[in-house]
Structure 1
Amino acid sequence: MEHFLGEYECKLDAKGRMVLPAALKRQMPDVEREGLVINRGLESHLVIYTRREWNKIMDELSRLNQFERKSREFIRKFMRGASELTLDASGRVLIPKSLQAYADISSEVVLASQFNKIEVWSKAKYDEQWENEGDDFAILAEEVMGNLRRREDGE
């Protein structure tokens, strides 16, 4: 599994193209050959996957029982807007207009690494998340990571 590292601020040009940052591109040595997939995230952002990671997700989804309504609904919602991204000669990718609208992206974006994927946020929405953080992160860390430790210890 690939694990990406870093947070990058980028700009979209008038056509909706974005240069993939060199530091991020170095973490994806096969990107030019294999390409990328971009999709809607769960919280009004976008998500970029390498083709290899996307194929793993597709394998998982294909195991869902498509005779169950919730499975079909989830697959439809998850797949909605999924698009291939290919780098042009200048190292740019074109973000589809429908996905830009979904994530409220106009020009400035933040690419935030998340293990095997890269979240794409409107810079304004990304910054908004951190404005009133206060002690929330410490509380969240205790709840999430504290519970993880307890589960590992068998409590």
Structure 2
Amino acid sequence: MTFFIGTFENKVDKKGRVSVPATFRQMLADQPFQGIVIFRSYRADALEAAGMDFMRRLHKSMSSNLDLFSDEHDDLATAILADSHQLSFDGDGRILLPPALIAHAQISDRAAFVGKGDLFQVWNPATLEQKKQEARDRAKAQKLTITLDREGENG
């Protein structure tokens, strides 16, 4: 099961190649497609990335919860599936980011990889720091908390 955590910053070369963190690649090692699926976030100036297994689950959930010909299904399918790129790892664990994705996330010479559990995001490091501070401030202001399920307990 894939579970992406942590934040890693890597260099982006002039061709747009960047190394995906080794711990993230290890999470994807058992998948038939040796690479990632990546698309522009429609919620932030960042990129969303995952393995093909997550994308299949996402599609299944969309198909199960939304009418196939609804505007909502069409909007999400267009924003996510139609905008997705399958990027293979090269021998050094790098991917080649397409120019449109680099422009969307305003990435130049560095990229930050941010684990989000089932998927991860790719950010411009400066933009990420601002986003992280905003998220911490909102969580603090709302006094957000999580109830942790206890393993082995019923209910």
Q: Which residue of 2 aligns with 1:39?
A: 39
In 1, Cα distance between equivalents of 2:32 and 2:14: 23
Query: Does structure 2 conserve the Cα–Cα contact (< 8 Å) formed by 1:34 and 1:51?
Result: no
Q: How does 1:89-100 map to 2 (within 5 A)?
A: 89-100=91-102
Q: Which residue of 1 aligns with 2:12?
A: 12
Aligned length, in residue pairs? 146
Query: Does structure 2 conserve the Cα–Cα contact (< 8 Å) formed by 1:40 and 1:80?
Result: no
Q: Which residue of 1 aligns with 2:50?
A: 49
* Structure 2 letter corresponding to 1:100: I
Q: Percent identity?
A: 24
In 2, Cα distance between equivalents of 1:30 and 1:49: 13
Structure 1 residues 124 and 32: CA distance shift in structure 2, 3 A: farther
Structure 1 residues 134 and 96: CA distance shift in structure 2, 3 A: closer
Structure 1 residues 30 and 40: CA distance shift in structure 2, 3 A: same
Alpha-carbon shift at residue 7 of structure 1 (Å) = 0.8
Question: Could you say what secondary structure the match of 1:145 adopts?
Answer: coil
In 1, Cα distance between equivalents of 2:70 and 2:16: 37
Task: Considering fraction of residues, name the structure with more helix.
Answer: 1
Q: Which residue of 2 aligns with 1:108?
A: 110
Structure 1 residues 73 and 22: CA distance shift in structure 2, 3 A: closer
TM-score when normalising by structure 1: 0.80
Alpha-carbon shift at residue 31 of structure 1 (Å) = 5.5
Between 17-26 and 40-49, report the one with greater CA deviation.
17-26
Alpha-carbon shift at residue 130 of structure 1 (Å) = 4.2
The unaligned stretches of length 5 or more in structure 1 are: 150-155
Between 82-91 and 65-74, report the one with greater CA deviation.
65-74
Alpha-carbon shift at residue 136 of structure 1 (Å) = 4.1
Question: Could you say what secondary structure the match of 1:26 adopts?
Answer: helix
Query: Does structure 2 conserve the Cα–Cα contact (< 8 Å) formed by 1:49 and 1:116?
Result: yes
